[in-house]
Amino acid sequence: MTTVTTRTVTYPADGLTMVGHLALPAGSGRRPAVLIGPEGPGLNDFQRRRADALAELGYVALAFDINGGRWFTDPEEMLARVTPLLSTPRRMRDIGHAALGILHAEPRTDPDRIAAIGYGTGGAIALELGRDGVDLRAIGTVNALTTGRPGEAARIRCPVWAGVGSEDPIMPPAQREAFAAEIQDAGVDWRLVLYGGAVHAFHHPPVDHPVVPGVAHHPRHAQRAWRDVVDLLTECLPLAE
C-alpha cells in the first residue's frame, strides 16, 4: 500500500470554520488533485477514507467540509442547514472556492489538474463550481442532479459524470430530465448512470441515527459508483501527463 500523509485543515467559509481532511500521496512532486464534497449531514470518516483512497492512487485529495465541523444526526437540523444552502448558488460556490483555495495552497497540487466530485450537497457544490466557470478537469456527482440558473451550465469546461438511484425519491425522474436537458443544451460532455433499485444516498454505509425518508444503503451499487468515479478520474485526470 502506498504511504499516505493526512492532516486536518481549517479555513473560513459561509461564516463558519470549516474542518477539512487533506490526504497526500507518497513522494514530493506535484500531483493532480481532487475535491471531495460530502452529503448534507457533513464530513465524516466515510468521506475522509475516500480522500485517503484517492491519495493511495496518487492524487492529492481534499475532503472538504460544509457544516463547520458538524455531522448532523438529526434530519431536521440537517435540512434546516442544507435546504437554504442548496437554494443559494452563491453560498455553495463560496464554500467550493474556499476548499479550492486550500488545494491551490498545497505545494503538492498541480493547479492545472484538478477535479471535483461530490455526494448530495457536496455534489451540488461541485456542479456550482463548474457553472461558475472554474477550470476543472472533471466533475463527478452522486445523488446530486441539481439544476442551475439559466445559461450558466454553458460555463462548465469539463466532462460531467452523474450517478443516481433509479428509485431515488429526492432526485425523481422529473429532476433527472431537467438536469439532462440543462446540461445537454449547454453542450457539455456528460453521462448519467442509473443504478437500478437504489434510492437516495445508496453509496453511504448505514448509520446509527434517523435519516430522511428515501435513504438506504445499496452495497453493490455503492461499490460500482465508486469504481465509476475512479474511472472518471482515470480518464479525465490521468496520473501521468
pLDDT value of residue 168: 97
Q: Tell me the helices (H) and strands (E) count for the chain, helix number first.
A: 6, 8
List helix spans (H) across 58-120. Answer: 75-86, 89-105
Of 171, 170, 97, 175, the residue nearest 131 (C-alpha): 97
In the chain, which residues have pLDDT < 50? none
pLDDT value of residue 183: 97
Longest dimension (CA), the chain: 47
pLDDT value of residue 178: 97
pLDDT value of residue 47: 93
Contacts of 148 (CB under 8 A, 6+ apart): 89, 127, 128, 131, 182
pLDDT value of residue 83: 97
pLDDT value of residue 241: 63
pLDDT value of residue 240: 81
pLDDT value of residue 210: 87
Q: What is the pTM of this model?
A: 0.97
